[in-house]
Amino acid sequence: MSNSKISALTSATTPLAGTEVLPIVQSNTTKQVSVADLTAGRAVSAASLALTTTPLPATSGGTGQSSYAVGDLLYANTTTTLAKLADVATGNALISGGVGVAPSYGKIGLTTHVSGVLPFANGGIGTQTAANAILYTNGTPNAVSASTGFTFTGSVFTLSDASAQAYFTTTRNAGSEILRVETTGASYTGVMQYQRMGSSTGSTSNYYLAGQDSGGDRLYIYGNGDIKNKNGVYGTISDAKLKENVTDATPKLDDLMKLKVRNFNFIGSSEKQLGFIAQEFETVFPSMVDESNDIDENGEVTDVKTKGIKSSVLIPMLVKAMQEQQKSIQEQQKSIESLKDQINLLTSKG
């Protein structure tokens, strides 16, 4: 049909049976358009449609919104309305606020928004660790393990588990530096080095431990067990405020004379040594001999024990013995002088 005003349409009457009409109501008057009046395929022009209200609400199938910015997202903020969530800067993610709460953009919180364990292959460690644990690769590809029993307080590292052991292992060749502890500052520099020894290295050509500072070498513990320092001083803590039950030592000269000084070499070495045999020494000074459990090649304590001598205690013993000898010498000197006087007297009467 041609474009027609509603008022020009035929007034509606009760349709005849088999007649299809489209009723249109205007000012309480119902008009009708029969199917015969419609032209098949005729388009309705946009100009003929006009909204006379605000944007179509959500309850009518619309959004209730009249404008948008690039990146806006729509969400239900009530059961009957929609709202816009504006886009934000790069690096933020859309985060659920929970059931019944509007979503928002923000940073992902590892403790609040992420669950599970991030695999090693994805940049994680693949495990949940206990407090104060140290992580290390366990030999399996893409896997780590945790060693517990450690405490960190500020910059202080402590092995806090009495049953635990700390190991630093390396496969570097003998003679290579394997551990260095170094401190540098405006007025101080200190280095402590640990070097691995070969199985048969028993000389001063290699060392186990070395200490240096800005003044040069200070301390060496050599492969043969020798200990040397720069100034040749070794001492003990000996303040009177730390001691009690102080008495004069008993005579030591006679016991020292019982000691057997031996020449020997250690098994596996041809280097000549001078010293004592612990079992012989023990028969004279048992309290100066102690023993400790051996350590096997795996670092485990064994039931085999090895005796050692507290050699440094010999120093005060030797001082005591020298005092005894000096007293004896002085007494002998007095006797000699007395004999001389008697000889001189007899000679004068001659």
Q: State which of 64-73, 175-184, 213-222 shows the largest mean pLDDT.
A: 64-73
Euclidean distance between CA atoms 301 and 322, whole angstroms: 41
Cβ contacts of 124 within 8 Å, gap of 6 or more: 117, 118
pTM summary value: 0.48
pLDDT in tens, 150-209: 666 666 666 655 555 555 566 666 556 666 766 666 555 566 666 655 544 556 666 777
Residue appearing with tokens 């002998």: 332
For the cut 60, the answer to whether the pLDDT of residue 127 exceeds it is yes
Has residue 76 been placed in a domain? Answer: no
Which residue, of 159, 186, 221, is where some domain finishes? 159
pLDDT, tens only, 182-194: 666 655 556 666 6
Calculate the alpha carbon distances from 61 to 81, 179, 298 in Å: 10, 73, 77
Poorest-pLDDT segment among 10-24, 81-95, 200-214, 246-260: 10-24
Same domain, 194 and 282: no
Predicted confidence (pLDDT) at residue 1 exceeds the cutoff of 50: no
Q: How many separate domains does the chain show?
A: 4
3-state secondary structure of 173: coil
The residue type found at 245 is N
Q: What's the CATH code of the domain at 264?
A: 1.10.10.10
* Domain membership flag for residue 85: no
What's the chain's average pLDDT? 76
User: How far is Cα of residue 37 from the mean position of the Cα atoms in its chain?
Assistant: 88
Buried b or exposed e, range 321-340, using 16+ CB within 10 angstroms:
beeeeeeeeeeeeeeeeeee
Dihedral in degrees, nearest 10, Cα atoms 42, 46, 51, 52: -90
* Domain limits for position 26: 6-48
Residue 254 lies in a domain: yes
Residue 91 counted as domain residue:
no
Residue 197 and residue 287 share a domain: no
Report CA 219 to chain centroid distance, whole Å. Answer: 30
Residues 191 and 283 in one domain: no
Summarize the confidence of residues 117-135 as an average pLDDT. 69
Q: Say what percent of the chain tops pLDDT 90.
A: 25
Residue 341 scores a pLDDT above 80 = yes
Model confidence band, residue 310 (pLDDT cutoffs 50, 70, 90) = very high
For residue 113, give the 3-state DSSP assignment: coil
Check whether residue 154 and residue 192 sit in a common domain.
no
Q: Please state, in angstroms and rounded to a whole number, the distance separating the CA atoms of residues 51 and 58.
A: 16
Nearest in space to 264 (alpha carbons), one of 254, 279, 250: 279
Query: What are 23-56's pLDDT values in tens digits?
Result: 555 556 655 555 555 555 555 555 554 554 578 8
Q: Is the pLDDT of residue 218 over 70?
A: yes
Same domain? For 281 and 348 the reply is yes
Top mean pLDDT of 71-85, 164-178, 195-209, 326-340 is at 326-340
Same domain, 329 and 290: yes
